[in-house]
Amino acid sequence: MIEVRRSGPNDLDGIFDVFRSVYNDRHPYSVRTEIEKDLANPVIFSYTALMDGKIAGYGQLRQPEYPFLSFERQALEISRLGVRSELQGKGVGKALMAKLEEAIDGEDPLIVCACMQTADERSQHLLAPLGLFPVALFQGLAPDFFDDGQASSVLMGMCCRRVPVYPATLYLTPRLERLAQFVVAGIGLHREFLNFAEPPENSEGFLKQLALHRETFESHIRSGGFHFGFVTVDLSSPEAPAFYAMAHEAGFTVEGLVPMVPHANGSRSDHLVMRLVPPGIDDTRIRLVIPGATELKEILDTVG
């Protein structure tokens, strides 16, 4: 028998055991204090799944953790979803997802998003019923899935429950137009695209940002670690094509397009997400089963 209920402080040890059975010590929940902090956070909706009275899985809803959604107050991310390795395939994940979907309906956010391990088809199948549409593929972003420390790529999906009203013009280079059309059409948005490539008025700050990311990236690689930094390009800006060209010239790779990114002043725009990708990514470990994911990867491979 499977029961799913709100998590409590007494679930700490059981949740820790769940994630220890699936992930290596690079996962945030390999540290008990991280679990304890989330369980005590009143704005995180934490749920524990029990099978025959024993903790078998965990999942949560929270505000998105991604830097490019830092001003978002109308989105919920499905996060920290895990089922004990020996109990996978027995309906625990489906029961958790049913409860999380119920909570989403109650909160009625504008956007729902989640990240899925591309080496683990189960997580993609679990999240597929939400209608998440792939918007980004972060190569080598998650070093926490394999015992050997090999980085796993992560697929980010989103769905839009209501379409906000905001300026719909995007300034793009022709090579980015296919990516933009694919993402905004897939999520059910409508955009008018313009090609506009005037030189940026002030490129100094952006170039400094690129240099800082490269310095941090190289330091992490030298130490055997992983770099998670992003740069984003606001596609509502006439300077977008020039900023994209600068980042591309500096070795940054396009990994997706995130629509409806909020700004501090309340406005929204679509953003191109670019990263320095760690060397040695194993494409054979990238298995994409969410509808649209394979097409996204093909487009990203041609954009660079």
The burial class, CB within 10 Å (0-12 / 13-18 / 19+), for 217 is buried
**Rounded mean pLDDT of 132-144?**
82
Element (H, E) at 40: helix 32-40
What does the pLDDT look like over 2-25, one tens digit per residue? 999 999 999 999 998 988 887 767
pLDDT at res. 174:
84
**Rounded mean pLDDT of 216-241?**
76
**Rounded mean pLDDT of 276-292?**
81
pLDDT at res. 223:
62
Q: Measuring CA to CA, how many Å separate 132 from each of 9, 114, 171, 277?
A: 31, 8, 26, 24
- Here the tokens at position 284 are 């054979």
Mean of all residue pLDDT scores within the chain = 85
φ, ψ of residue 35 to 5 degrees: the values are: -65, -45
pTM of structure: 0.87
**Rounded mean pLDDT of 130-151?**
73
Q: Which of 171, 246, 245 is nearest to 205 (CA)?
A: 246
pLDDT at res. 4:
96
- Domains assigned to the chain: 2-160 (3.40.630.30), 169-280 (no CATH)
Alpha carbons 103 and 232: distance in angstroms, whole number: 31
Give residue 214's pLDDT band: very low, low, confident or very high (50, 70, 90). confident
Report the percentage of the chain scoring pLDDT > 70.
89
